[in-house]
Every structure is written in structure tokens, then in C-alpha cells.
């Protein structure tokens, strides 16, 4: 009788703990999915790059660490070199981390911007990213 | 006694989880609003063009320095490497409606307006003063003023700059 009580007590507590863990795990997975993700990275980096371009003067060159976004691109089998595109004719930056997604944002700095993936063995800061160079050339179209 | 307590425990934990989830959804459901920063950067670029390093740009005044150089202001965007055409035509009709506006006012030492010019979509300016619209629907407006002097120290001005960035569809959640 005592053994049955003990076994019942143990089972109840194990079930209780397991249910708690399940609820907490689901909650954490949900929060992680909403705080990370492709859509969020694309918007964040596109706007960040646009602001950096707008604030830059001719001859400026800057490196942007995009390691977490580029990892998402690699997970989605997307070429990391195609992640960031600068359209100088339309003054627009596009960040794309998968084939079916992408986010664009425009900037008002009319100087030509050149971007390249930083693929050296030891990139600046030791992490993957893109280098952006603001040239002294004015874009061909869009002068108003 | 333990079984009723266990039930209430799960009610509480599910309630906490629900509140946390709603908070996260509410926070991440809105796009990042960077219009204020854009307005600030546009103001800085205009100010740097009119008064680089704090001194009045020599192109602002005409050759005799008795008035303003209209040609400079007519070509202001080209002179200052600015492009106000935020062309996101795939999603919105931004190629038809300019998303930026700025106004520059020159004042003399008595703060009397002596010259004014503006570029972009003048319709946005009115929204800066619209107190009835919901905040998120308002453009990012930024106003500042500074003092500048020409290199020969003969011309001194107060300069007011008002910049406004609309781009509402990409910076605010619209119902």
C-alpha cells in the first residue's frame, strides 16, 4: 500500500514537471521565432544600411557585421554574396536572405555606393559581413 | 489538496505564457520607424552643404554678395548630392508621390526672413503640424536652426531647416 502511494506520488510529480517543461519550451520557441527570423533581419539590415549610406560622406568606407543574417541565408541555401544589393539608379538597398523574401529601402544620398561581401579568411572583426564604399561619383539617374 | 493546487498552478502558468506571447507579438508586429533618424540625417546633409564646417558656402551668395545665388538653389539637390525620389514603385506609388520635403529659411540678425526655398513634397509639411492624426501616421519631422557666417565675415545669417520624411507604409503599422 505504501509502495503504491510512493509510486503514485513519483508519477504525479514527474508528469507535473514534464508538463511544466513542455509549456516553458513552447513559450521559449515562440519567443525565439518572433525575435529572430528572416523578415526581421531583412528589414533591420536594409534600414540600417540605408541610414549608414545617408550619413556617409564621399570617400567613406564602412564594414557592417551581418553574421546572424548571413547564417540565416546559408540555412536557406541562398548565396551570401547576393544577400545585399545596391541599386544606384533607384537609390535603393535590398536585403534578401532567401529566394522568396527580400526587403528594400531607399536612401537620399545620391552618390554611387559599391558593396561587396567580405570573404577574406580573417574578415574585419573576425565575422562575416559586407563592406560598403561611398564613391565620389554621382548616380546617373534620379537627379531632381 | 495537492490536485486543486496543481490545477491552479497550470492556470497561472498558462496565463503568464499568454501575456508574454501577446507582449512579444505586440512589440514585433510593428515595423521599425526610422523616419526621425532619416529627417535628422537629411537636415545634417543640407546644413553641411549650406555651411560646410560652419562657414557659409561661397556658392550660396551671388558674385557681388548682395543677394542669394538663385542658380545654386535651383540646382540644390545636384549641388548637395541629394535624391528625393524614394522609388519603391513595386509596393507603393512612391514614384508618383515624393516622400521627402525640406525647407530652408535664411534670417538676418534681427531674425527677419530674407530668403526661403523648399524642395520635395510640400504636402508633407502640413502633416508635421497636424495634431489630429495618429502619431504613427505622421511623417518624421525635424526642425533645427543654426548660425553661420561667410568666410569674409561680412554676411551673417540664422538658418532654419525643416525636414520631413513620410514613408509611412514602411515605418508604421497601418490599419
Cα A142 to Cα A112: distance, rounded to the nearest angstrom: 12
In a domain, A144, yes or no: no
- What pLDDT shows up at residue A127? 74
Q: Who wins on pLDDT, B109 or A19?
A: B109
Cα A88 to Cα A144: distance, rounded to the nearest angstrom: 15
Judge whether residue A90 has pLDDT over 80.
yes
Instruction: Give the domain range for residue A16.
Output: 1-35
Option in B41, B88, B167 nearest A55 (CB): B41
Cβ of B170 within 8 Å of Cβ of A105? The answer is yes
Residue A105 and residue A54 share a domain: yes
- pLDDT one-digit tens code per residue, B27-40: 777 788 899 899 99
In a domain, A143, yes or no: no
Residue A70 and residue A15 share a domain: no
Cβ of A30 within 8 Å of Cβ of B83? The answer is no
Cβ of A109 within 8 Å of Cβ of B45? The answer is yes
| Residue B84 CB neighbours (<10 A) | 21
Across chain B, how many H-helices and E-strands are there? 6, 4
In a domain, A74, yes or no: yes
- What pLDDT shows up at residue B94? 61
Cβ of A144 within 8 Å of Cβ of B6? The answer is no
Residue A59 and residue A6 share a domain: no
What total number of domains does chain A contain? 2
Distance from CA of B62 to the nearest CA of A (A): 22
Give residue B136's pLDDT band: very low, low, confident or very high (50, 70, 90): low
Residue A73 and residue A3 share a domain: no
Q: Which helix (H) or strand (E) holds A144?
A: none
Percent of chain A with pLDDT over 70: 84
DSSP for B143-171, written as a single string: EEEEEEE-TTS--EEEEEEEEEE--HHHH
Residue A95 and residue A30 share a domain: no
Report the mean per-residue pLDDT for chain B: 83
Q: How many CB pairs under 8 A join A and B?
A: 88
Averaged over A40-69, what is the pLDDT?
93
- What pLDDT shows up at residue A110? 92
Residue A118 and residue A52 share a domain: yes
Give residue A112's pLDDT band: very low, low, confident or very high (50, 70, 90): very high
CB contacts, 8 Å: B86 with chain A: 91, 106, 108
Judge whether residue A124 has pLDDT over 60.
no
Give residue A35's pLDDT band: very low, low, confident or very high (50, 70, 90): low
Q: Does the ipTM surpass 0.95?
A: no
Amino acid at each position: 500500500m505504501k509502495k503504491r502511494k510512493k509510486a503514485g506520488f513519483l508519477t504525479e510529480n514527474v508528469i507535473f514537471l514534464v508538463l511544466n517543461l513542455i509549456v516553458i519550451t513552447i513559450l521559449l520557441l515562440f519567443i525565439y521565432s518572433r525575435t529572430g527570423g528572416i523578415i526581421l533581419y531583412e528589414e533591420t539590415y536594409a534600414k540600417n544600411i540605408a541610414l549608414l549610406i545617408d550619413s556617409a560622406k564621399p570617400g567613406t568606407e564602412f564594414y557592417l557585421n551581418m553574421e546572424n543574417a548571413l547564417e540565416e541565408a546559408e540555412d536557406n541555401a541562398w548565396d551570401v554574396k547576393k544577400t545585399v544589393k545596391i541599386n544606384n539608379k533607384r537609390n535603393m538597398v535590398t536585403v534578401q536572405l532567401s529566394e522568396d523574401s527580400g526587403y528594400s529601402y531607399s536612401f537620399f544620398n545620391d552618390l554611387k555606393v559599391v558593396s561587396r561581401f567580405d570573404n577574406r579568411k580573417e574578415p574585419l572583426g573576425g565575422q562575416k559581413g559586407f563592406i560598403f564604399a561611398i564613391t565620389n561619383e554621382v548616380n546617373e539617374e534620379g537627379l531632381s | 489538496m495537492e490536485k486543486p493546487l496543481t490545477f491552479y498552478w497550470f492556470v497561472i502558468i498558462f496565463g503568464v505564457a499568454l501575456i508574454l506571447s501577446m507582449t512579444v507579438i505586440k512589440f514585433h508586429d510593428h515595423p521599425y520607424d526610422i523616419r526621425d533618424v532619416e529627417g535628422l540625417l537629411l537636415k545634417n546633409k543640407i546644413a553641411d552643404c549650406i555651411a560646410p564646417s560652419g562657414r557659409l558656402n561661397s556658392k550660396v551668395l551671388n558674385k557681388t554678395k548682395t543677394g542669394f545665388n538663385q542658380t545654386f538653389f535651383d540646382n540644390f539637390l545636384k549641388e548637395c548630392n541629394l535624391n528625393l525620389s524614394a522609388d519603391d514603385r513595386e509596393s507603393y506609388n512612391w514614384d508618383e508621390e515624393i516622400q521627402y520635403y525640406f525647407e530652408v529659411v535664411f534670417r538676418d540678425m534681427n531674425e527677419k526672413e530674407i530668403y526661403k526655398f523648399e524642395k520635395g513634397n510640400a504636402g508633407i509639411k502640413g502633416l508635421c503640424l497636424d495634431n489630429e492624426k495618429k502619431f504613427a501616421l505622421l511623417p518624421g519631422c525635424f526642425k533645427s536652426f543654426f548660425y553661420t557666417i561667410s568666410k569674409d565675415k561680412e554676411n551673417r545669417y540664422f538658418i532654419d531647416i525643416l525636414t520631413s520624411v513620410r514613408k509611412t507604409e514602411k515605418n508604421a503599422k497601418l490599419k
